[in-house]
Amino acid sequence: MGRGLIVVDVQNDFCEGGSIPVAGGARIASAIAELVERSVGRDYQYVVATRDHHIDPGSHFSETPDFRDSFPVHCVAGDEGGEFHPHFAPVVADGKVHAVFFKGAHSASKSGFEGADAEGTSLAEWLRVREVEDVDVVGIATDHCVRATALDAVKAGFRARVLLDYSVGVAPHTTAAALDDFRQAGVAVSGEAPVPE
């Protein structure tokens, strides 16, 4: 039935100039905006976005981060770093993104399926009500939040595919491991750009 696009964490702090910048983030923000412009209402009945949105996430923030479970302060609710990247923000402002799901208020949260929209509806529930059965997942980062969101999509009963041409990874070895995890979990992968910049 319906196909949805899930855009993961295209936020200032995860792009060049942010507090945990991923090389290629700004470029992928532009590519995703173009994808949304040309495919919303055509290839995708629905487009949603997730946002890392921290109020007091406990040990997720650290002055001595390990960059696995703890990170420098990022995506604080209400701060510029948590806003959508300016290359992507216009398609949200134009109403081409149908809902935004916030995650991580009081804990670490990598998967968009842990988030809720402004009404408190979970991502899985929001998609099911609209009879979406297939989801494509894109965004930042392939080896962190894109990975967790795609794996949770399959667990929640959706057919999921990660579009590598519209995702960017932090590091080569963790991105390669994420691709293995996708294969094992039955997440489809499309695109030819698994190696981070």
75 is catalytic: no
Q: How far is the CB of 109 from Zn ion (least distance, A)?
A: 7
Q: Contact letters (x/-) for Zn ion, 45-64, by CB under 5 A?
A: -------x------------
Query: Side-chain half-sphere of 95: how many Cα atoms within 13 Å?
Result: 0
15 is catalytic: no
96 is catalytic: no
Q: How far is the CB of 121 from Zn ion (least distance, A)?
A: 21
Of 52 and 152, CB closest to Zn ion: 52
At residue 70, the 3 state secondary structure works out as coil
Nearest in space to 164 (alpha carbons), one of 149, 151, 148, 146: 146
Instruction: Determine the Cα–Cα distance for residues 91 and 161; give it in Å rounded to an integer.
Output: 22
Of 50 and 167, CB closest to Zn ion: 50
Q: What is the separation, in whole angstroms, between the first and last Cα of the chain?
A: 36
Q: How many chain residues are in contact with Zn ion, going by CB under 5 A? A: 1
Give the footprint of Zn ion on this chain (CB under 5 A).
Answer: 52
